[in-house]
Amino acid sequence: MSDFVSELRSELVAAAAREEARRVPRAWRPTPRMVFFGAVAAATAAIVVVLATGGLRTEPAHHRAVPGARPTPEGHPLFGGTLEEGVRFRTRAFIPALSFVATGPDWEAGDATSPDILALNLRGKRTETGQEIARGALVFARITQVYDPNVKGLQRSLTTAPADLYPWLRAHPDLRVGPQAPVTVAGVPGRRFDVTARFNRPAHEDPQCVLRTLEVCTFLAPNVGVIDGDRARITILQTEPDPLIVFEVVYPTSTPAVVEKAAKLLLTSLRIGVG
């Protein structure tokens, strides 16, 4: 009888281990291009294709800013890992509060404990070696500090982010910024524009970028480094206490239309807490 009990216990332990391995997603290993550091857990991202967000309404951005608030009671608390399709999740730490529906089976969240940055990664198919390649991501961020390109020295150049980030980006010598257009996302007015990085020598080099990506980055803010040639579509929404910035990215190994559709559906479900 003792042998039977021991064998049964071993089988149960093995089954539990298999179930745990099935539920925990593989580590996200994106292609190293645009780099979101810090709370994203080194969410290194390649931005070579810009998402088209044709489903977002456009209207003049003259509305009052929408205040950030505590998460609404609706939805499941957001933790890192695979997100169940069709379930609404709400942030626990990010400011302003966000909630959204995982509109497909391939979404997963990165670190969900930061008030400043949140990455939602769209997983892709596995390679022949079993590695899972991410297709793209939606990154929500608050940029409260930037590195002034006119001040020498990385630490000396760190300063409070301007109230309006768009003209600051346009004036940055390492960036080429397109015209902005008014948009409305989740009922919140904002602006959308495209950015391309172009530099021979960065205004401020990120000392960790070469180690992480084997390429040189220009450091824009403590959470954002950009490699020469990177492109991004950026949306700035007028929330409080700080603007909500949304980076829409597609990785080079993915099909843009697939990522565009998934991102559009998720953004359509987005709600921003207003108390």
Q: Give 217-239 pLDDT, tens digit per residue.
A: 899 998 788 888 877 789 999 98
Q: Is residue 9 part of a domain?
A: no
Mean pLDDT throughout 260-266?
87
Q: Is residue 220 part of a domain?
A: yes
How far apart, in whole angstroms, are the C-alpha atoms of residue 94 and residue 254? Answer: 28
Q: Is residue 2 part of a domain?
A: no
Q: Is residue 152 part of a domain?
A: yes
Q: Is residue 32 part of a domain?
A: yes
Q: What's the structural domain count of the chain?
A: 1
How far apart, in whole angstroms, are the C-alpha atoms of residue 247 and residue 50? Answer: 10
∠ CA 117-89-86, rounded to 5°: 130
User: pTM, whole model, 2 decimals?
Assistant: 0.71
Q: Residues 120-131: pLDDT tens digits?
A: 998 877 666 767
**Residue 152: other Cβ atoms inside 10 A:** 10
Both tokens of 212, joined, read 């992480």
Whether cis (ω within 30° of 0) applies to the bond prior to 105 is no
Query: Torsions phi, psi of 12, nearest 5?
Result: -65, -40
In this prediction, residue 145 carries a pLDDT of 95
Higher pLDDT, 275 or 102: 102
Q: Is residue 248 part of a domain?
A: yes
In this prediction, residue 127 carries a pLDDT of 67
Q: Is residue 17 part of a domain?
A: no
Q: Residues 148-189: pLDDT tens digits?
A: 999 999 999 999 999 999 999 999 999 999 999 999 999 999
In this prediction, residue 2 carries a pLDDT of 52
Q: Give the structural domain span for 208.
A: 27-272
In this prediction, residue 124 carries a pLDDT of 79
**Per-residue confidence band for 46, with pLDDT thresholds at 50, 70 and 90:** very low
How far apart, in whole angstroms, are the C-alpha atoms of residue 246 and residue 261? Answer: 16
Per the DSSP assignment, residues forming a β-bridge with 244 are: 237
Mean pLDDT for all residues in the chain = 76
In this prediction, residue 129 carries a pLDDT of 73
Q: Is residue 191 part of a domain?
A: yes
How far apart, in whole angstroms, are the C-alpha atoms of residue 265 and residue 262? Answer: 5
